[in-house]
Copies of this chain bind each other. A is one copy, B any other.
Amino acid sequence: MKRSDYIPKATIERLPLYYRCLEKISAYEEDEVVSSRELGERLGIPPTQVRKDLSYYGEFGRRGVGYHVEDLKKSLAKILGINKTWPAVLVGAGNLGRALVNYEGFQKMGLQITDVIDSDLDKIGNKVGDITVRSSKDLEEIVKTRQIKIGIIAVPASAAQDVTDLLIAAGIKSIWNFAPTRLVVPEGIIVRNEDLSVGITSLIYHLTWKNE
C-alpha cells in the first residue's frame, strides 16, 4: 500500500473519523458513493482536507463521482490497522476501567479488551463484564499466550509508572494511558495519553475568555 514519507499527525487523527462516518453511511444510507464534500460536511472538515488526507495513502476516489463507500471503508480499515482485532489487557478495574471494558464501541475500531488486572484482593476473582479480574502476577502469562501488544492503564496516577514497568516487562508494545501523569518508557514503546482533565480545562478556558 502506498504511504507518503511524511504524514501529518492531524491527518492520522482524522482518519478514524472518516472511517466511522463511512460505517454510519454504510449502515444507514443507500448511497454507494460519497463525495469529499459530503464526508467533510458531516464531520465539519473542509473537503480539500478530506482529499489531501486520503491522498497520502493513494487514490481512492473517481473524479466526477466520489468515493465508493465500501471500498474506502475497507481501505481505511487496512490503513488504520483495524481490519483485524487487537487484544488488550486493562489494568485497574475501577470506575473508569469498568466503563472501558463494558463499552462495545471499541470493537468496531479493532480493540478487544480480553483481560483485566487489579491489585485489590477484593476485586481479583470478580467479573467485569465477562472478564474475571486477575492479579498482576498473571500478567506475563496473559500477554504471552494471547500475544497482547496493547496495555491500558486505568489506575491512579501514583501507580501508573509501576504498572507501566510491569506491562513492558511482560512484553507489551504500546500503552493507552488514562492516568494524568507522564510515563517514562523505553525507546520503541508507543504511548498515547488520554488526558480528560485537559479537555475540560481547555473548555473552561474558552468559556472564561469568550467575550474578551
Contact = CB atoms under 8 A, between A and B. Distances in A.
Contacts of A205: 12, 15, 79-81
A118 to B, nearest CB: 15
A95 interface: yes
A62 interface: no
A44 interface: yes
Copies of this protein chain in the complex: 2
B206 A190 contact: yes
A81 B106 CA distance: 34
A137 interface: no
A195 B192 CA distance: 13
Most chain B C-beta atoms within 10 Å of own C-beta, residue among A195, A200, A202? A200
Given A190-B210, A206-B190, A182 B80 contact: no
Main secondary structure, interface of A, reads helix
Interface in A89-138: 95-96, 98-99, 102-103, 105-106, 108-111
A173 B98 contact: no
Contacts of A105: 180, 197
Interface residues of A, number: 56
A44 B82 CA distance: 29
Interface of A: 3, 12-13, 15-17, 19-20, 42-44, 79-82, 86, 95-96, 98-99, 102-103, 105-106, 108-111, 149-150, 173-174, 176, 180, 182, 188, 190, 192, 194-210, 212
